[in-house]
Amino acid sequence: AQSVTQLGSHVSVSEGALVLLRCNYSSSVPPYLFWYVQYPNQGLQLLLKYTSAATLVKGINGFEAEFKKSETSFHLTKPSAHMSDAAEYFCAVSGGDYKLSFGAGTTVTVRA
Amino acid sequence: DAGVIQSPRHEVTEMGQEVTLRCKPISGHNSLFWYRQTMMRGLELLIYFNNNVPIDDSGMPEDRFSAKMPNASFSTLKIQPSEPRDSAVYFCASQRGEDTGELFFGEGSRLTVL
């Protein structure tokens, strides 16, 4: 079985500051890891995914995530926050099949 | 290309009424998922279809919930009778292939049962 834990339900950053969202996973098989973003009143949208290739994964909108097996982590970062980054972010894991297990989500607010 | 289309976007109904939510997946996608999102439970997978066949319905809460996919371009999720605890946002998502994890979500149907 696979599961993820997102550390921190809410993160507040200043515009231009680093965004760091933490995700730890548990998996009995090599994991496939994902970050999704949900803007208000919209569905989820894939930001990036890790599928056992490069451990540093680049996604859309300047986000990237690094897979660290030793730490069972897949943290999401963006060097400089923009007001448009305000949203809810979900980490998710699968074992390579159709079952995605989503974390509880982290809401990001960006202060001007 | 059009994304996943869900209707209605908002539904307010009274307890005991039948609710039908509809979904049109992206053309060419052969996997379809129904998820439910609530504050308390987060995102829950209700049912997964592959090539119009229900593969996993273990997440369907109880017999009041049913889902169909009569063809590759249409799916429904029905709740009968509805209860206040069914209030949630219901998402439909589609995917090309069976296991890529790259789900494309609709904008959701927000259901309120009074």
| Single-letter amino acid code for the residue at A77 | T
pLDDT single digits (tens) B32-81: 999 999 999 999 999 999 999 999 999 998 899 999 999 999 999 999 99
pLDDT of residue B1: 63
Quickly tell me which residue has 């890529």 as its tokens.
B100
Of residues A34, A49, A104, nearest to B42 (C-beta): A104
In whole angstroms, what is the distance from residue A100 CA to residue B46 CA? 12
Q: For chain A, what percent of residues have pLDDT higher than 90? A: 82
Quickly tell me which residue has 């972010």 as its tokens.
A89
Q: For chain B, what percent of residues have pLDDT higher than 90? A: 90
Quickly tell me which residue has 């540093």 as its tokens.
A56
Rounded to the nearest integer, the mean pLDDT of chain B is: 94
Q: To probe the interface with B, which of A44, A46, A101 has the most B CB atoms within 10 Å?
A: A44
pLDDT of residue A14: 97
Rounded to the nearest integer, the mean pLDDT of chain A is: 94
pLDDT single digits (tens) A43-98: 999 999 998 778 999 999 999 999 999 999 999 999 999 999 999 999 999 887 88
Measured at the alpha carbon of residue A98, what is the angle toward residues A3 and B24, in degrees to the nearest 5?
Answer: 120
In whole angstroms, what is the distance from residue A38 CA to residue A72 CA? 24
pLDDT of residue B98: 66
In contact, B26 and B105? CB cutoff 8 Å: no
pLDDT of residue A28: 86
**Rounded-to-5 percentages of helix, strand, coil across chain A:** 5, 55, 40
> In 3D, which of B34, B29, B78, B71 has the Cα closest to residue B53?
B71
Inter-chain residue contact B108 with A42, CB threshold 8 Å: yes
Q: For chain B, what percent of residues have pLDDT higher than 70? A: 97
pLDDT of residue B65: 97
- Our CA-based measurement puts residue A81 at a distance from the nearest CA of chain B, in whole angstroms, of 25
Q: Tell me: pLDDT of B99 over 70.
A: no
Quickly tell me which residue has 């997946």 as its tokens.
B25
Inter-chain residue contact A102 with B106, CB threshold 8 Å: no
In contact, A48 and A59? CB cutoff 8 Å: yes
The SS3 assignment for B54 reads strand
Q: What is the mean pLDDT of residues B98-103?
A: 76
Structure tokens at A64: 């990237």
pLDDT of residue A30: 86
Inter-chain residue contact A43 with B31, CB threshold 8 Å: no
- Supply the DSSP symbol for A62: G
- Supply the DSSP symbol for A60: G
pLDDT of residue A99: 85
Inter-chain residue contact A43 with B56, CB threshold 8 Å: no
pLDDT of residue A68: 95
Inter-chain residue contact A44 with B107, CB threshold 8 Å: no
Q: Which residue of A has its CA nearest to B3?
A: A43
Q: Which residue of B has its CA nearest to A32?
A: B101
In contact, B74 and B7? CB cutoff 8 Å: no
A8 φ, ψ to 5°?
A: 95, 120
> In 3D, which of B76, B73, B55, B57 has the Cα closest to residue B8?
B76
Q: Which residue of A has its CA nearest to B58?
A: A99
Identify the contact set of chain A against chain B, taking CB-CB distances under 8 A. Answer: 32, 34, 36, 41-46, 49, 51, 90, 92, 94, 96-100, 102-105
Per-residue pLDDT band for B114 (boundaries 50, 70, 90) equals very high
